[in-house]
Amino acid sequence: MPNSNTDRPNFVLFITDQHRADYLGCYGHTVLNTPHIDRIARNGIRFDRFYVSSPQCMPNRATMMTGRMPSVHGVRTSGIPLPLRANTFVDLMWADGYQTALVGKCHLQNIHDWPPEILPSGFIERRDGPLAEFGEALKPVPGEDYERERGSLWRYHSVYRPLKNHYGFEHVDLITQHGDLGEAGYYTWLRSKGCSPERLRGPENALPHDYVCPEAWRTAVPEELYPTSFVERKSVEYLENYVRQWDPKPFFLQVSFPDPHHPFTPPGRYWGMHDPRDMPLPPSFDMEDDAPPHLQWSRNYTRTQGNSYHAYPATRREAQEAIALTCDMIAMIDDAVGSVLDVLERLGLSDNTILMFTSDHADLLGDHGMMLKGPFHFQGLIRVPFIWSDPRVRHAPESCDRVCGTIDMGPTILDRAGIDPFNGMQGRSMLPLVSNPNGEWRHGILIEEEQHHGVLGFDEPLRLNSFVTERHRMTIYHGVEWGELYDLEEDPHECTNLWDSHNARELRREMMEAVAYERMALVDRSPFPTRLA
What is the model's pLDDT at position 32?
98
Q: What is the pLDDT, as a whole number, of residue 305?
A: 42
**Residue partners of 323: CB distance under 8 A and separation at least 6:** 276, 279, 281, 365, 366
Q: How far apart are CA 210 and CA 212, in angstroms?
A: 6
pLDDT for position 266: 98
Q: What are phi and psi of 450, to 5 degrees?
A: -145, 135
Distance of CA 3 to the CA centre of its chain: 30
Residue 487, classed as helix, strand or coil, is: strand
339 found inside a domain = yes
Answer whether 309's CB lies under 8 Å from 57's CB. no
Parent domain of 207: 10-107+161-434
**Three-state SS at 472:** strand
**Is the backbone peptide bond immediately before 260 cis, with ω within 30 degrees of 0?**
yes
d(CA 501, CA 485): 9
Please, are residues 408 and 53 in contact by the beta-carbon 8 Å criterion? no
Alpha-carbon distance 164 to 458, whole Å? Answer: 41
Tally of residues, the chain? 533
Whole-number Å distance between alpha carbons of 249 and 3: 6
> CA 455 → CA 215, 328, 360, distances in Å?
20, 30, 22
Residue at 153: amino acid letter: L
Q: How far apart are CA 420 and CA 413, in angstroms?
A: 10
Angle (deg, nearest 10), helices 35-42 and 316-346? 60
27 found inside a domain: yes
Report the pLDDT value the prediction gives residue 303, as an integer from 0 to 100: 56
Q: What phi, psi does 520 have (nearest 5°)? A: -65, -40
Q: 350 in a domain, yes or no?
A: yes
DSSP-derived letter for residue 206 is P
Residues with Cβ < 8 Å from 182, sequence gap 6 or more?
175, 176, 190, 201, 227, 230, 258
**CA torsion sign, 512 to 442 to 399 to 251?**
positive
Q: How many C-beta atoms lie closer than 10 Å to residue 203's C-beta?
A: 18
On whether residue 112 sits in a domain, the answer given is no
With respect to residue 232, please indicate whether it lies within any of the assigned structural domains.
Answer: yes
- In degrees and rounded to multiples of 5, residue 477 shows phi and psi of -125, 140
For residue 29, CA distances in Å to 25, 35, 55, 484 come to: 5, 12, 21, 27
Q: 235 lies in a domain?
A: yes
Which residues of the chain are under the pLDDT cut of 70? 1-6, 117-131, 156-162, 301-309
Q: Among candidates 329, 416, 322, 325, which has minimal Cα distance to 367?
A: 322
Q: Measure the CA dihedral 190/191/194/199, to 10°.
A: 80
Q: What are the beta bridge partners of residue 47?
A: 386, 400
Residue 286 burial (CB count, 10 A): 12
Question: Angle between the 316-346 and 227-242 helix axes, to the nearest 10 degrees?
Answer: 10
Report the CATH number that the domain containing residue 89 is assigned in CATH. 3.40.720.10
Gyration radius of the chain over CA positions: 23
**Closest to 201 (Cα-Cα) out of 184, 176, 183:** 183
Domain count, the chain: 1
pLDDT of residue 293: 87
Sign (positive/negative) of CA torsion 176, 182, 183, 185?
positive
Q: Is residue 385 part of a domain?
A: yes
Q: Kindly report, residue by residue over 379-405, the tens digit of the pLDDT.
A: 999 999 999 999 999 777 899 999 999
> Is residue 148 one of the residues assigned to a domain?
no
